[in-house]
Amino acid sequence: MQHPQARIDLHVHSTASDGVLSPSEVVCLALEQGLTAIALTDHDTVSGVAEALDAAAGTTLEVIPGVEINSEGEWGDLHFLGYYVDCRNGALNERLQVVRDARLGRAYAMVKRLGELGLPLEWEHVRALASGESVGRPHVARALLERGYVQTLQEAFDRYIGNDGPAYVPRLRLSPPEVIAAIVDSGGVPVLAHPAYSGAAVVARIPEFVAHGLRGLEVYYPGHTPEEIEALLRLCRQFGLLATGGSDFHGPGHGEGAYLGSVEVPADCLDGLRVAACRR
């Protein structure tokens, strides 16, 4: 299919989780950037989607309801994107609520650990920085920055709360089959996020994930090399998976991901997702 004007970004965060811009600000920026479609994929919540849909109504921008859910286990730290999930689905929201409740306890544990390391933070401060539903390490990092313990958000991760940091506390994560089921059961299309960052071992597990309902791989992503993109496209062909892509934009000046719309994603990626969502 030809899409001469189409420009899409299928991996975007907002203040509903650890992004910097509100869902409507993200929509405005997407329009300014000349994008034709974005998927809002906040961590463990779909609470930003309604605001984004409202903000985009009557404009040239299409907003695809989405979510990013992490999993953990012998597979390592794998993230799954769910496209076209039904945001009102009770079972999905209940599952996400359990994960978010655990995020809260885990953030509290990190604050406690930081206090033991001589970096006391006020819990209310962290809570206020996480204005949305989903509390994450970037909020703790911002509290450390605002208290003057670090000079940049990156320093907070590098010194204290990165995966190997002294104040890191792991969070509750579902297993990959549970995450895939949560997405599929709510009418969504599950896609493995940024596979090139998930380690070579994940490739061996793809057939298993496909058997559970995985439908795609996030092929186009900041930092994915042409060779990695080619290898991922080969895997898509081998397993009959869709290719998707996006920037993982978290906001201007935020360390993770790239700028909104800055990753080139072929527009027919969206056609494949739409068809997959229809066939559910």
Q: Could you say which residues in the range 14-43 bind Fe ion, by CB under 5 A?
A: 18
Give SS3 for 78. strand
44 binds Zn ion (CB under 5 A): no
72 binds ligand AMP (CB under 6 A): no
- Residues 43-62, one symbol each (x = binds ligand AMP by CB under 6 A, - = not), give x-------------------
133 binds Fe ion (CB under 5 A): no
Q: Integer distance in angstroms from the first to the last C-alpha of the chain?
A: 22
CB of 138 vs ligand AMP, minimal distance in Å: 5
User: What crossing angle do the helices spanning 90-116 and 137-146 adopt, rounded to 10°?
Assistant: 40
**178 vs 268, which CB is nearer to Fe ion?**
178
Task: Tell me the window of 68-76, 103-111, 143-151, 174-182 that interacts with Zn ion (CB under 5 A).
Answer: 68-76
Return the number of other C-beta atoms located less than 10 Å from residue 251's C-beta.
Answer: 23
248 binds Zn ion (CB under 5 A): yes
* Nearest residue to 107 (alpha-carbon basis) of 75, 159, 142: 142
Quickly count helices (H) and strands (E) in the chain: 10, 7
Sheet containing strand 189-192, strands side by side: 8-12, 37-40, 62-71, 78-83, 189-192, 216-220, 242-245
- Residues 123-152, one symbol each (x = binds ligand AMP by CB under 6 A, - = not), give -------------xxx--------------
Binding site for Fe ion (CB under 5 A): 18, 79, 193
